[in-house]
Structure 1
Amino acid sequence: MAAGGPGGSGPRYRAALHPDTWEQELEAIPMFMKRCPAEIDPERQPELACLQSLLFDQEKGPAELAGMYKNEGNEYFRERDYGRAIAAYSAGLRQECGDPALGAALLGNRAAARFRLGNYRSALNDAIQAKKLKPTHLKAIVRGALCHLELKNFSEAIAWCEEGLQIDSKEKKLLEIRAKADKLKRAEERDARKAKVMEKKEQCQKEMLLAAIKERNIKLVLEPSNEEEEISDGLAEISLDGFHSDSVTGAKVHLDADGNLNWPVLFLYPEHEQTDFIAAFHENSRFIDHLMVMFAELPPWDVERKYLPSNLELYFEDEEREEMYELNPEHTLLQVLQHPRYFVKAGTPTVLAFVKLSAFTKKYLSGKKVHRLS
């Protein structure tokens, strides 16, 4: 027995397949390949290039080559290898065979492959080109209608179906697509009508809201802005964006059934960097009433137990003048908002709360002119 034979201890034959990777090595040999690579490099894969040149002989005419590429693409399509199918159909189209029917078939088939991959616009373009080459190409019309359906172009889908049904009035697929597109189109139109009604209703509510604010002489400032812009006249020009709230609740000023304004109000406690938020502060409610509710139980951050309703001072700040205005807790929100120097920013009135005569309060107010409201 030779030293290199079975059971021998000599060196392995140099061209032999490795026992662990023999399947992969065999697949690399053109004769045993189960499928051809999408692209072939003649320098690195000369055997494959040779086989391809034999298969697609340059002596064959463009029409024959285009037909062979179409058949190859169809094989890939049946295997659901849509990427290689598209490559084969594209190679067939590059032959410029001059046969409208064959060109339309290649474009229609490529449209089908692209559709399977979800490339609806590319598929639609192929269907359009196929229909130009052969207006009676029913498969291309079906694929174009399907693409329009997926792209939510319902009117166009119906038009393509109508065109195809003139060729074959009993084409089942076109009848199905037309019925589905018609149903979706009617639903879309219904939703559009509802949205328009809702938009008109919101616009009416907005105008009523703006009129109520203007009637009360409440001044608004729209943010963000490089400079504060006082809004007193021309309120009808303010968009709803001017009434957004920066709060996580998204609360907005609104009119209740009795025609009263309810505002989202933010309370700031600078000493402890804490806040309270009231989503709907009725314009005729007093500040003391809300303080009694908010501090019925002392908050956990008030370790010194100083935040009692009777021990608090409320202010609003005029940032432009760097002045502070102390509020009377017995006043209503409307009374405060109507003050000549109060500006509602971003649709949310803000109030600062301090402990009376505390060291922090004195330091915060030092250097600022303080006005006390009667």
Structure 2
Amino acid sequence: MELPELDAVSDDAMDSFVEKFRSQSYRGRFHEDQWEEEFEKIPLFMKKTPSEIDPMENPDLACLQSIIFDEERSPEEQAKTYKDEGNAYFKEKDYKKAVISYTEGLKKKCADPDLNAVLYTNRAAAQYYLGNFRSALNDATAARKLKPCHLKAIIRGALCHLELKNFAEAVNWCDKGLQIDAKEKKLLEMRVKADRLKRTEQRDIRKAKLKEQKERNENKALLQAIKVYFEDEDRAELYQVPPESTLLHVLQHPRYFVKALTPAFLVCVGSSPFCRHYLQGRKVHQVK
């Protein structure tokens, strides 16, 4: 017999609650002219996390952050949280912040080698997109030390070697990866490219060495062909200067005289008719 009375009380309370909203404004309502900005402040609907979280501006987000990054949690849990945060930044192509998050995760020094290998590998990817190829390679190398069969680390290390023009090393890393997965498409493609570039580099090195040797031979032949003399006018005698002599050494010779502040030499091709004719009948000394 009491049920109808309870229903009546319940209905009255509901009517009173609804009537309250009709007569009073809801404090937490959105304003029509800026509802989009206010909606963006709700953590669940944020399209992008603010770079600096102000507790006064975003109290809900600050509260969530304090829960997520609670220092009382285990190093593994904290490292995983930073890994997830870094992944979120990576998807947004904010690679600098991704690097910071992965670094914070590594600072936790958790005992899980697989998790640390992932943090190193992911940081290597972020560093790669920032153009920091040497840092990315160092991270890929660190990941391989923790987990030698980590294929993503090997792929990223091979990419870095390509960018750094270490083609032989790139081939080596690709071969290591293909031992783990012989059908890995990225490694197969990189292996072909790295090998082609390595062969091209070796060919260019050989060409450069041959060109350098040719130039040395030509210079040597030229030095052997050219003869340099200075004249002792008082005695009408010539002194032949060795090719390796310096100007200072010659100027210090007791029979060398400078006129009008200008050193003078006779330079000619030793086998030429002019040189043979000019030297005919003259006494020639060797400068020592």
TM range (shorter): 0.5 to 0.7
- In the alignment, what sits opposite 1:322? 260
Q: Return 5+ residue gaps in structure 1 as ranges.
A: 1-15, 220-230, 239-318, 326-333, 339-374
Find the aligned partners of 2:115 and 2:213 in 1 and give their Cα distance: 54
- Is structure 2 residue 104 aligned with structure 1 residue 91? yes
Whichever residue aligns with residue 200 of structure 2, its letter is A
Indicate which of 212, 225, 241 corresponds to 1:199.
Answer: 212
Whichever residue aligns with residue 161 of structure 1, its letter is C
Please report how far the alpha carbon of residue 197 of structure 1 lies from its aligned counterpart in structure 2 after TM superposition: 0.8
- Is structure 2 residue 243 aligned with structure 1 residue 235? yes
- In the alignment, what sits opposite 2:65? 52
Please, what is the CA RMSD of the aligned residues?
A: 3.5
Find the aligned partners of 1:135 and 1:105 in 2 and give their Cα distance: 12
Distance of aligned partners of 1:208 and 1:97 in 2 relative to their CA distance in 1, 3 Å threshold? same
Indicate which of 155, 159, 179 corresponds to 2:192.
Answer: 179
Whichever residue aligns with residue 151 of structure 1, its letter is L
- In the alignment, what sits opposite 2:93? 80
Indicate which of 126, 129, 145 corresponds to 1:132.
Answer: 145
Find the aligned partners of 1:323 and 1:171 in 2 and give their Cα distance: 75
Please report how far the alpha carbon of residue 207 of structure 1 lies from its aligned counterpart in structure 2 after TM superposition: 1.1
TM-score, structure 2 as length reference: 0.65
Residue correspondences, number: 219
Q: Return 5+ residue gaps in structure 2 as ranges.
A: 1-29, 231-238, 247-256, 264-273, 279-288
Indicate which of 67, 76, 79 corresponds to 1:63.
Answer: 76
1:175 match: secondary structure: helix
Find the aligned partners of 1:65 and 1:232 in 2 and give their Cα distance: 82
Residues 41 and 58, structure 2, Cα contact 8 Å, conserved in 1: no
Question: Percent identity over the alignment?
Answer: 54
Distance of aligned partners of 1:233 and 1:324 in 2 relative to their CA distance in 1, 3 Å threshold? closer
Residues 40 and 47, structure 2, Cα contact 8 Å, conserved in 1: no
* Higher relative strand content: 1
Post-superposition Cα deviations, 1:274-313, rounded to whole Å, max 9, x if no partner, equal: xxxxxxxxxxxxxxxxxxxxxxxxxxxxxxxxxxxxxxxx
1:163 match: secondary structure: helix
* Higher relative helix content: 2
Distance of aligned partners of 1:206 and 1:57 in 2 relative to their CA distance in 1, 3 Å threshold? same
Distance of aligned partners of 1:60 and 1:204 in 2 relative to their CA distance in 1, 3 Å threshold? same
Distance of aligned partners of 1:27 and 1:81 in 2 relative to their CA distance in 1, 3 Å threshold? farther
Find the aligned partners of 2:262 and 2:165 in 1 and give their Cα distance: 58
- In the alignment, what sits opposite 1:101? 114
Structure 1 residue ranges, 4+ long, deviating more than 3 angstroms after superposition? 22-34, 37-51, 231-234
Residues 207 and 236, structure 1, Cα contact 8 Å, conserved in 2: no
Whichever residue aligns with residue 35 of structure 1, its letter is K
